[in-house]
Amino acid sequence: QVQLQESGPGLVKPSETLSLTCTVSGDSISTYYWSWIRQPPGKGLEWIGCIHYSGSTNYNPSLQSRVTISVDTSNNQFSLKLSSVTAADTAVYFCARGWVYFTYWGQGALVTVSS
């Protein structure tokens, strides 16, 4: 069974960089595209970007200047970095498998941006 688990700090200071890692089990990361999606509290879903195991990436244009997604095939993980965060980046961050639609999701990690 495919499982994804997000990990990383739950609190980030304004202007700093948010960093999250998604660990995949039950599947090889070298077979699909993998995505990050976020959801501000009480709001809808926003796709952040995706990565192929080869390292090829595709980002949401609204976040592209601040986002970096990378992959670590040896540990079956992929990661998200979002720089220069503000309170507007406070959200639950989900990792998911897929690039057109998303078949498996992690449980989500709440990241709060606050001093």
Partner 1 sequence: EIVLTQSPGTLSLSPGERATLSCRASQSVSSSYLAWYQQKPGQAPRLLIYGASSRATGIPDRFSGSGSGTDFTLTISRLEPEDFAVYYCQQYSSSQRTFGQGTKVEIK
Residues near partner 1 (CB under 8 A) are 35, 44-47, 58, 60-61, 94, 96, 99-103, 105-108
The residue among 87 and 110 lying less far from partner 1, judged by its C-beta, is 110
Q: Smallest distance from the beta carbon of 106 to partner 1, in angstroms?
A: 7
The residue among 53 and 105 lying less far from partner 1, judged by its C-beta, is 105
> Are the C-beta atoms of 91 and 112 separated by less than 8 Å?
no
The residue among 41 and 114 lying less far from partner 1, judged by its C-beta, is 41
> Are the C-beta atoms of 102 and 35 separated by less than 8 Å?
yes
Strand partners, 95: 36
d(CA 91, CA 44): 10
